[in-house]
Structure 1
Amino acid sequence: MEPFFDPSQTQESHVYKDKAIENWVRGDDTSSLIQQIISLQQLNQNDARKRLANQLEISKVNEDYEFVLDVDVKKKNGRPLFQTHEKTIHAAEWLTTNFKRTDIVLLQIDGIRARKEASVYTRLSHHDNIVRTFGFVLDGSRHHFQNSIMLLQEYASLGSLYELLQERSIHFDEKILLAIFLQIIDAMIYLTLNNVVHGDLACRNILVFHFDATNPKNTLVKLSDFGFSQYNQFDSFTPDFAQPTSNVIPTRYAAPEIFLSNNATNAYSEKSGTYSMGVLMWKAYSRGTIPWSNISNDQDVIQHVINGNVLSRPSNCSEQYWVIILQAWSLLPSNRPTFEQLKQLLINQTELGGISFVFKLKCSIS
């Protein structure tokens, strides 16, 4: 039997040598010993091993650089399209000619979760309704910043769904909204199959690439912003990977169990996602109205949600779809549909109403 060099022991008393940890860091997060997900958080290790794992992860990202700033792509002049403390989006353009001339942006992510958020983008970039990430971009001027990552992504010229809903000149027929909902749900099914919880499903995080107010088949939206996302049963090398990018819960979209849990991030699940999907649907029907806009204090909103109160039905929401939204808002997660079930509920009603959608659906595991 091969001896264990530099063994590390988990809380379940399984022993792993450093080579196994290295293999896990490099992409195999399943223990060859017990065929279960292993977590660095559960390893009884010293600081040196944690630094080793972190360095290995950094080197793995460094190996993945596919583009170089000012060689393959460059930032366009002007102010960023979007900017927060931890995220900046710049309009960009190709400098090389061997790529299709897709409109692009540069997404710069800063902070302790930068590498993990970036890995979610790159891992889940192969679905029609998730924003496409072309790869990592090496920025020589910032290469020494350990917690800074730059990604090259496709550009949504129509902005977010929230912005589109603000355009009062556009009429949103219910069948158009349903087409949008089904595309978002399909993206969420894909995340679920890949053991990822988004954590911040909202209209502002849905990008619009094509929109046709008369034909739902010509409308295309994509899910973005994985800053709050986390892997189910999968921890990071950094102690607070499961924590959102900031300690802010999207209160007016969040499910009641998020507020009731001592550790909110542990309460996020597919079912908390379907609750948020219900709020997103309500907001789309309501043309971007803030949920619980009649209540200014977020603590009062939290109490309403915990008590099982729900938003009022928008006048343009048909009864059969309102019933489905109410199911998504069930107080108990076990009473809510999964995303797959939610999709089928909507499809069943669209078929009864004679509405037909044709999408290229991708719901396989990446």
Structure 2
Amino acid sequence: MESFFDSSQLQDSQAHKSEIIEKWASENDTSSLIRQHISLQQLHQNYAIKRPANQLETSKTNENYEFVLDIDVKKKNGRPLFQTHEKTIYAAEWLSTSFKRPDIVILKIDGIQARKEASFYLHLSHHPNIVHTFGFVLDSNCHHCQDSIMLLQEYASLGSLYELLQERNINFDEKILIEIFLQIIDAMIYLTKNNIVHGDLACRNILVFHFDTTNPKKTLVKLTDFGLSQYNQFDSCASNFAQSTSSIIPIRYAAPEIFVSSNTMSSYSEKSDIYSMGVLMWEAYSRGAIPWSNILDDQNVIRHVKNGNVLSRPPNCSEQYWTIILKTWS
């Protein structure tokens, strides 16, 4: 990772660590890759890598704690709303406030990737279809939390899209589903403009804030969970960074190229997100069904997808939108 904080570029268009390329160019007067004449005057910083890397490094050491636990906000009593090995979501409430504020949760992220994921939440927070993060929360009583981050976020009272699909024993009107898809796509376009790949699109990672069966425009969903996200421009230049990302693959939502590459994380791209978007749409039409539920073994799912097989059309999906879903897998 260290090399990407001091990355440079020569006329061979490849990224190199500055001190290494300076030494090579001064001794050999050629590019280390294309063997053509090159000079130190042509050396310049590779800002496509340097800027995002510096942002990540800054987020590691200079958190600006906007809130203090048990002074500004507190966890509500009871069990966490959600808990895995690396993430816990607590219901929370504001303290010392004289005016109405939005309902909130505290997201606690553990592990070496915590600050990276937190930086994505904060960077993308202002889009209307991405979960809003208010800022960092300081727990002054926790003296062993170096690899933990707490964020204050808005609370989605209706839970995830997956939960909504499972709980409502009805087939949603297609107009409602299309409105949901359009909002998710709008969020994904925003990620693309910021050179970010989500890497884990699924109904479980879509939060539902408003839902109206009679008026689709009153429905509001937001994208969440950036645990597998990464900067797209790192893919071809920074394999070390990519390999440091969690190696967990959402197999039943992943594009075929994810299973082909020896460097799994570097295979994630805008295209692989589009593929996963198609699976998400299939899942929503199928009322939260597990993709490839007829295949129990994930390894068999991988073989099936690599061989070019696709999911079957849900009965309630119109021909018009099924054609669109198929295009996401082509």
Class of the TM-score when normalised by the shorter of the 2 chains? 0.7 to 0.9
Q: Deviations over 1:227-286 (max 9, x none)?
A: 110112249xx9965347643210000000000001010000000000000000001001
Match of 1:337 in 2: none
> Which structure 2 segments of 5+ residues have no match?
9-14, 21-42
2:70 is equivalent to residue 59 of structure 1: no
Distance of aligned partners of 1:186 and 1:233 in 2 relative to their CA distance in 1, 3 Å threshold: same
Contact (CA 8 Å) 1:107, 1:150: kept in 2 or not? yes
Distance in structure 1 (CA, Å) of the matches to 2:17 and 2:228: 31
1:140 deviation in Å?
A: 1.1
Contact (CA 8 Å) 1:229, 1:244: kept in 2 or not? no
SS at match of 2:74: strand
Contact (CA 8 Å) 2:7, 2:50: kept in 1 or not? no
Contact (CA 8 Å) 1:9, 1:15: kept in 2 or not? no
SS at match of 1:166: helix
1:141 deviation in Å?
A: 2.2
Contact (CA 8 Å) 2:278, 2:325: kept in 1 or not? yes
2:49 is equivalent to residue 38 of structure 1: yes
Question: Which deviates the most, 99-108 or 115-124?
Answer: 99-108
Contact (CA 8 Å) 2:69, 2:139: kept in 1 or not? yes
Distance of aligned partners of 1:72 and 1:329 in 2 relative to their CA distance in 1, 3 Å threshold: same
Contact (CA 8 Å) 2:184, 2:221: kept in 1 or not? yes
Match of 2:18 in 1: 14
Match of 2:70 in 1: 70
SS at match of 1:300: helix
Distance in structure 1 (CA, Å) of the matches to 2:172 and 2:55: 50
Contact (CA 8 Å) 1:201, 1:277: kept in 2 or not? yes
Provide the aligned C-alpha RMSD in A. Answer: 2.8
Structure 1 residue identity aligned to 2:48: I
2:134 is equivalent to residue 137 of structure 1: no
Match of 2:313 in 1: 313
Match of 2:160 in 1: 160
- Aligned positions of 1:1-366 closer than 5 A: 12=16, 14-15=18-19, 33-34=44-45, 36-39=47-50, 57-61=59-63, 64-97=64-97, 100-234=100-234, 241-243=241-243, 246-330=246-330
SS at match of 2:175: helix
Structure 2 residue identity aligned to 1:66: E
Distance of aligned partners of 1:172 and 1:37 in 2 relative to their CA distance in 1, 3 Å threshold: same
Q: Deviations over 1:181-215 (max 9, x none)?
A: 00000000000101110000000000000000111
Distance in structure 2 (CA, Å) of the matches to 1:153 and 1:278: 28
Contact (CA 8 Å) 2:7, 2:46: kept in 1 or not? no
Distance of aligned partners of 1:272 and 1:8 in 2 relative to their CA distance in 1, 3 Å threshold: closer
SS at match of 1:212: coil
Identify, as 1 or 2, the structure richer in helix: 2
1:145 deviation in Å?
A: 1.9
Contact (CA 8 Å) 2:239, 2:266: kept in 1 or not? no
1:301 deviation in Å?
A: 0.6
Contact (CA 8 Å) 2:255, 2:276: kept in 1 or not? yes
Distance of aligned partners of 1:243 and 1:183 in 2 relative to their CA distance in 1, 3 Å threshold: farther
Distance of aligned partners of 1:68 and 1:304 in 2 relative to their CA distance in 1, 3 Å threshold: same
Tell me: higher relative CO, structure 1 or 2? Use CA pairs within 8 A at least 6 residues apart.
Answer: 1
Structure 2 residue identity aligned to 1:318: S
Distance of aligned partners of 1:275 and 1:9 in 2 relative to their CA distance in 1, 3 Å threshold: closer
Distance of aligned partners of 1:241 and 1:69 in 2 relative to their CA distance in 1, 3 Å threshold: farther
- TM-score, reference length from structure 2: 0.83
Distance in structure 2 (CA, Å) of the matches to 1:134 and 1:250: 28
Percent pairwise identity: 72
Structure 2 residue identity aligned to 1:261: S
Q: Deviations over 1:290-314 (max 9, x none)?
A: 1111100111111110111001101
1:12 deviation in Å?
A: 3.0
Match of 2:11 in 1: none
Distance of aligned partners of 1:143 and 1:229 in 2 relative to their CA distance in 1, 3 Å threshold: farther
1:59 deviation in Å?
A: 2.6
Distance of aligned partners of 1:313 and 1:278 in 2 relative to their CA distance in 1, 3 Å threshold: same
Distance in structure 1 (CA, Å) of the matches to 2:7 and 2:268: 28
